[in-house]
Structure 1
Amino acid sequence: MRTSEEISALLVANFGTDPLAIRPEVPLRQLRLDSLALEELRLLIEDRLAIDLEDVALTSRDTVGRLVAAVHERARA
């Protein structure tokens, strides 16, 4: 499964996000992800993909595409 698909699956399963709303240009806050939800998502991604995102700084103003790019970059490292 691709990085974007993994993240989409986590958003749908754990946060009840509408799959059609998950697009690269959409800000995370538009998906109703506040700082606490972003931290929970980070932990879920780390667990699912076995990567470390501790020093990746994301806010609810970042887009889904930025999140996917940051995760993809870490997964390749």
Structure 2
Amino acid sequence: MNAAEVVNSLLVQRFGVPTSHLNDEAPLRTLRMDSLALEELRVLIEEQLDIDLEETSLTPRNTVGQLVAAVDGVTP
């Protein structure tokens, strides 16, 4: 799976985000992703893609597209 597939899958399956709400411009806060949820999501992404996102800084103000770009930018 690529970064977008992993992120979208986790948002839907683990955080209950409706697929109709997922698009690159959607701010994470509108998907009810607070800082705690983002930390959990970060850990899940790291586990699924075997990468380290420790240096990646994301807030609920970031968009889904920015999250995917940040994940894509990390070398496994």
TM bin, normalised by shorter chain, reads over 0.9
Q: Which residue of 1 aligns with 2:53?
A: 53
Matched residues, percent identical?
A: 54
The Cα shift of 1:34 comes to 0.2
Aligned residues: 76
- Return 5+ residue gaps in structure 2 as ranges: none
Q: CA RMSD in A?
A: 1.0
Distance 1:57 1:32 in 2: 18
Structure with greater helix share of residues: 1
Letter of the structure 1 residue corresponding to residue 44 of structure 2: L
**How does the TM-score come out when normalised to structure 2?**
0.95
Moved segments of 4+, more than 2 Å: none
- Return 5+ residue gaps in structure 1 as ranges: none
Distance 2:2 2:20 in 1: 17
